[in-house]
Chains A and B, each alone.
Chain A
Amino acid sequence: MPSATLQPGSRIDGFTIVEVAHRGGMAKLFSVSHPDYDFPLLMKVPAVGGGADPATIVGFEMEQMILPRLSGSHVPRFVASGDFDQQPYIVFERLPGQSLYHRLEMLPLGQAEVADLGARIATALADLHRQDVVHLDIKPSNVMFRETGEAVLVDYGLARHLHLPDLMDEEFRLPYGTAPYMAPEQILGVRSDCRSDIFALGVLMYFFATGTRPFGDPQGMKGLKKRLWRDPAPPRALRPEISKPLQEVILRCLEVNPARRYPAAAQLAMDLKDLSKVALTARAEKIRRDGLAEALKRRFNPDPIELLKEKTAREAQGKAPIVMAAIDLTDSSVDLAEELRLTLQRILDNTPNARIACFNVLKINRIALDKEVDETGTNLHVARLVQLKHWAEPLRSPESTITHHVIEAVSPADAILEFARQNLVDHIVMGARAHSTIRTLLGSVSGAVATHAPCTVTVVRRRSKRGG
């Protein structure tokens, strides 16, 4: 076997082996150097031959196919790969520090830290899913962090690219994954649903917040399938200091039916970044597991769960956008506000899984930052929030999908753009200022947003009644 001969000083295709970085069951990792690359490199060499698991080879092939097609800060940068003819290997960027696995002995972590880690991982997942890849093995040892704080997802041996052949699915009958983290549909053989990663992240957050794995570490199919009918103890039953919003978020990720989970990782990230905006349901109030009789009823009479076919999974991509409605409550005419609402309603009607963030800027002056309370003693911020909710009230949508945000800022355009970037907004809907004189004096907010936004922008304008 060729890999047995690799040792410090060995050279392959211009890479020099420096040292063994990690010895795992499926592969060996070496730190390597190459004169053309000025960042740290890792070489992954699969353990093939002998009694190696056949999944090792296929997993390596999957990684060889998928990793070169990924880009961005949330994946390790791909450098090179070698074939089985000579020496199979993949070289990619070596990330600093250790994986989340090394935090396991410090569990449970505080709520703020769990939410922060969860938000960063969810943001990374959103980026991965946008590239049509489902990771299917999200767990602490596969999560690393850049020095700048972004989560990086590693190990694509079980991953699925929705537009490439799935070698794993065809080669093996049994589902592959890591037992504690596998989503119910993954256990049933579905390998194309992005919401499986949201489930795994829910398991991770549950574990990190409580110190206990929600479904233990079962061996064998029977144990794995138990999560299809047996609900875990609510996090607050194990640790009462966990807040209701965090429990709401975790239990929504852990819903058996993927259709009841967050429809997109970006929506989950948005909730985790501001737990105060989470809409609470019965999940937040749950204080104990369901009775055994109820659980057994589910076992023998299971609720149907949505098992996505591949084609549907591809079509589902992008069907759960975050839509930001930026409304100017001081300047807009009643007509424009109505027009904006109609546009939003059309979006909601076409994409029921959309998450709507109604956004308003409370403009403050650079000099006077203390005008928080007006003459009548009403808190301006609260008043504005009430106004915003009133405006959004006629929108017909499931309760949990609309949130309201009032932000104090000097520049409305900058505030809108910052919010859109932070929350991975897919679509900004906003009104055009009515009076051209004001627009000339102040500059067009919608123009600035449309120019600099990281996403689609719809500018709503009321058609002039005189046909001008």
Chain B
Amino acid sequence: MKIAILSDVHANREAFQAVLADCRSRGVDRFVILGDIVGYGPDPGWCVDKATELAEAGAVIVRGNHDQAVATPSSSMSSTARTAIDWTRDALSPAQKLFLAKLPLSVTEDDRFYVHSDASAPSRFHYVSNAEAAALHFSRCGARLSFCGHVHRPALYSFGAGGKVTSFAPSSTVPIPLLMQRRWLAVIGSVGQPRDGDPAAGFAILDTDSGELCFLKVPYDVEETAAKIRAAGLPDSLASRLSKGT
């Protein structure tokens, strides 16, 4: 089974569409979305509707901090993020808000654990941005494979028999064998606001038959999304960062 794992769509319709089209061409069987469907971007309504449609067809979707902030404003957000969330709240219908509010914080399925941030405190939204943070996750989670987002930069951590955590920054689309005897935590890059220096939309595909994970990037019409962000009156920095992938 091929599972497409997406995260941090951030209301970027063009990026979301490009990734979905690419997944279909690769014969993906299932979709997982690791949260933050909205926030920052100009098309929250369309993206929530698309996610709802995927969920009805069996997709696993978990809640991110931006999804949560629509109903429950967060004091820890940057002013830019807060401005965008306030705008998003007005742009969404009650049904769309309800969909976001009812998303679970984490989902376990077979040997796989899905969460927006990490297992140590899913509702506190810690960032897994180094081996120490990954070690904390491994200490709280027994699943063989864990997947999270939130960081917007892809990474892959493993925990072996020696008790040490290894870290790796994916550098190509070469499929990575997730060896059975290790536990793995994959930080999936962002669909809608990548910060790995490459503006293309990031996601990953897990092949459960071969046990391999493939980090992928798909280009989309960045200029179109940036123009929409500016037209909506959202902070300009949200538009300009997209073309740099930062």
A167 & B166 in contact (Cβ 8 Å cutoff): yes
CB-based nearest A residue for B157: A165
A198 at the interface (CB under 8 A from B): no
Given A65-B177, A83-B180, A84-B181, also A167-B171 (CB < 8 A): no
Q: Are A165 and B156 in contact, CB atoms less than 8 angstroms apart?
A: yes
Which residues from B are CB-within-8-Å of A64? 177, 179
- Determine the residue in chain B with the shortest Cβ distance to A55: B162
Contact B174 A163 (CB under 8 A): yes
Q: Is B161 interfacial (CB 8 A cutoff)?
A: yes
Q: Do B171 and A61 touch (CB < 8 A)?
A: no
- Measured CA separation A165–B166 after assembly (Å): 8
Contact of B174 with A164 in the complex, beta carbons under 8 Å = yes
Q: Is A435 part of the contact surface with B, judged by Cβ < 8 Å?
A: no
Q: Is B167 an interface residue (CB 8 A)?
A: yes
- Which chain A residues in 108-162 approach chain B with CB under 8 Å? 132, 161-162
A171 close to chain B: CB less than 8 A: yes
Q: Mark A158-187, 1 if CB is under 8 A from B, else 0.
A: 000111111101110000000000000000
Q: Decide yes or no whether B139 CB sits under 8 A from chain A.
A: no
Residue of B nearest to A57 (CB): B161
Q: Which residue of A lies closest to B210 (CB)?
A: A68
Which residues in window 50-94 of A have CB below 8 A to B? 54, 57-58, 61, 64-65, 68-69, 83-85, 88
Residues of B within 8 A of A65 (CB): 176-177, 179
Structural contact, A163 and B172, CB atoms closer than 8 A:
yes
Given A163-B171, A314-B171, A170:B165 Cβ within 8 A:
yes
Total A-B pairs in contact (CB under 8 Å)? Answer: 62
A69 touches B171 (CB 8 A): no
In the complex, A389 Cα to B161 Cα: how many Å?
61
Which residues of the other chain, B, contact A163 by a CB distance below 8 angstroms? 170-172, 174
Whole-angstrom distance between the Cβ of A430 and the nearest chain B Cβ: 32
Residues A171 and B177 in contact in the complex (CB < 8 Å), given A163-B171, A165-B156, A311-B171 = no
Q: Which of B156-194 contact A (CB under 8 A)?
A: 156, 158, 160-162, 164-168, 170-172, 174, 176-177, 179-182
Q: How far is the CA of A365 from the CA of B100 in the complex (A)?
A: 81
Q: Is the CB of B162 within 8 A of A58?
A: yes
With A165-B168, A311-B171 given, is the CB distance from A68 to B160 under 8 Å?
Answer: no
Chain B nearest CB, measured from A89 CB (Å): 13
Residues of A contacting B162 in the complex (Cβ-Cβ under 8 angstroms): 54, 57-58, 171
Kindly list chain A residues whose C-beta atoms are within 8 Å of the C-beta of B166.
165-167, 169-171
**Least CB distance, A164 to chain B, in whole angstroms:** 6
Chain B contacts of A68 at CB under 8 A? Answer: 177
Measured between beta carbons, the chain A residues less than 8 angstroms from B164 are 170-171
A contacts with B: majority SS? helix
Interchain CA distance A310-B167 in the complex, whole Å: 13
How long is the Cα–Cα vector from A58 to B174 in the complex, in angstroms? 21
Among A64, A65, A88, A170, the most chain B Cβ lie within 10 Å of the Cβ of A170
Q: Which residues of B contact A83 (CB under 8 A)?
A: 179-181
Q: How far is the CA of A61 from the CA of B168 in the complex (A)?
A: 16
**Which residues of A have CB within 8 Å of B179?**
61, 64-65, 83
| Nearest B-chain residue to A48, judged by Cβ | B161
Which among B158, B170, B174 is the interface contact of A167 at CB below 8 angstroms? B158
Do the beta carbons of A61 and B160 come within 8 Å of each other? Answer: yes
Set of chain A residues within 8 Å of B171, measured between Cβ atoms: 162-163, 310-311, 314
Chain B nearest CB: distance from A49 CB in Å?
Answer: 11
In the complex the two chains form, what is the Cα distance from A54 to B161 in whole Å?
9
Cα-based distance from A141 to B170 in the complex (angstroms): 33
Q: Which residues of B contact A164 (CB under 8 A)?
A: 168, 174, 176-177
What is the CA–CA distance of A363 and B168 in the complex, to the nearest angstrom?
Answer: 55
- A1-59 contacts to B (CB < 8 Å): 54, 57-58
- List the interface of chain B (C-beta within 8 A of A): 131, 156, 158, 160-162, 164-168, 170-172, 174, 176-177, 179-182
Please name the 6 residue pairs, one residue from A and one from B, whose CB atoms are nearest each other, closest first.
A170-B166, A165-B168, A84-B181, A163-B174, A83-B180, A163-B172
Known: A58-B160, A61-B181, A163-B172. 14 other contacts (CB 8 A): A54-B161, A54-B162, A57-B160, A64-B179, A69-B174, A83-B180, A84-B161, A84-B180, A164-B174, A164-B177, A165-B158, A165-B176, A166-B166, A310-B171
Q: Which residues of A contact B (CB under 8 A)?
A: 54, 57-58, 61, 64-65, 68-69, 83-85, 88, 132, 161-167, 169-171, 310-311, 314
List 14 contacting pairs A-B, 8 Å CB cutoff, sorted by A: A65-B176, A69-B174, A83-B179, A163-B172, A164-B168, A165-B156, A165-B158, A165-B168, A167-B158, A167-B166, A170-B131, A170-B165, A171-B164, A311-B171
